[in-house]
Structure 1
Amino acid sequence: MGDIGVLAGQLIRALQEELFETLAEQGHPDVRPRHGTVLAFLDPEGVRATDLAARSGQHKQIIGTILDELVRLGYVTREPDPADRRAKLIVPTEHGIDEITKARAILAAIEERHERTLGAERYAAFMEMLRQVTRDQRAWRQAPASTT
């Protein structure tokens, strides 16, 4: 069966496998799971790399490397930020918007499939519990020490 870490890892790998194989079939064969660190958090009007790092929980250096790849692949551009000409906005290209749109549709279809399998109430309860466990895990440093 596995503990929470094993199960969470298996779930994410299975989701990524379906998502990225389907994206490849739909015209995006170069996109990899690491690219989701950026693509999942983009705004159509653009976002600063520092904001992408904060949203994704990744270091700025990792985001920078992924951005270089996505620029090379034609998914994003770096453009001057009108609010601060010294800063750059990461803006999805038409190709990037197509990938984001398709990825969201694929993930929605996956969720709908699981909702049909479990039933709407059970799936909603599962998602709420998963959100709670995720929130609790992210806050582990702030949790009071156990008195065992």
Structure 2
Amino acid sequence: MFIGARYVEQRVADAVLGAGYDDLTPAMARAAARLGDDGIRVTELAEQARITKQSASVLVDQLERCGYVERVPDPSDARARLVVIAPRGREVQRLARKEERAIEREWRRHLGAERMAALQDALVALREITDPYAP
């Protein structure tokens, strides 16, 4: 599983870099990948990424300076801030999703529709017991 995940991550990173987003480091990309449409607090990002709050703050600072994210007031707590994807971050996200779809098509051609469906079903089922942050 690690080899497949590493392959996908590298392919997406190469596509992003090839499109001119050369200021986005792998660490920044991994942090940004955890951002949902509703945003996330830095403390939650740190917990999910399994890094310190300080490291998460540094990554968010870098992402913000590069225009990939913004910090906005948290509507549920006036004292807190949420990290949300900025328009430039949405551009990269669209590019990443496009590359992921291309990989999925390649894997489907290689495995065949039935085996690919079985792989996807198995991975979704495993997420239920391995991902405490699954929606």
Could you tell me which residue of structure 2 aligns to residue 79 of structure 1? 72
Match of 1:51 in 2: 44
The 2-side partners of 1:128 and 1:59 are apart by 33
Deviation at 1:79, TM superposition (A): 1.8
Equivalent residues in 2 for 1:1-148, closer than 5 Å: 8-133=1-126
Q: Which has the higher contact order (CA 8 A, sep 6+)?
A: 2
Per-residue deviation at 1:10? 2.5
Assess if the C-alpha contact under 8 Å between 2:15 and 2:95 holds in 1: no
Q: Deviations over 1:26-71 (max 9, x none)?
A: 2312223322332222234432223333444544333222212211
Tell which structure's C-alpha radius of gyration is larger.
Answer: 1
- After superposition, the Cα gap between the structure-2 partners of 1:64 and 1:136, relative to the gap in structure 1 and judged at 3 Å, is same
Retained in 2: the 8 A contact 1:77–1:91?
A: yes
**Partners of 1:85 and 1:123 in 2: CA distance:** 46
Structure 1 138/45 Cα, relative in aligned 2: closer, same or farther at 3 Å? Answer: closer
Query: SS state of the match for residue 74, structure 1?
Result: coil
Q: Between the two proteins, what is the percent identity of the paired residues?
A: 33
When normalised by structure 2's length, the TM-score is 0.79
Q: Once the 2 structures are TM-superposed, how far is the Cα of residue 110 of structure 1 from its aligned partner?
A: 0.8
TM-score w.r.t. structure 1 length? 0.73
SS at match of 2:80: strand
* Distance in 2, Cα, partners of 1:19 & 1:113: 14
RMSD: 2.4
1:21 CA drift (Å)? 0.9
Q: Is the 8 A contact 2:73 2:81 kept in 1?
A: yes
Structure 2: 5+ residue runs without aligned partners?
none
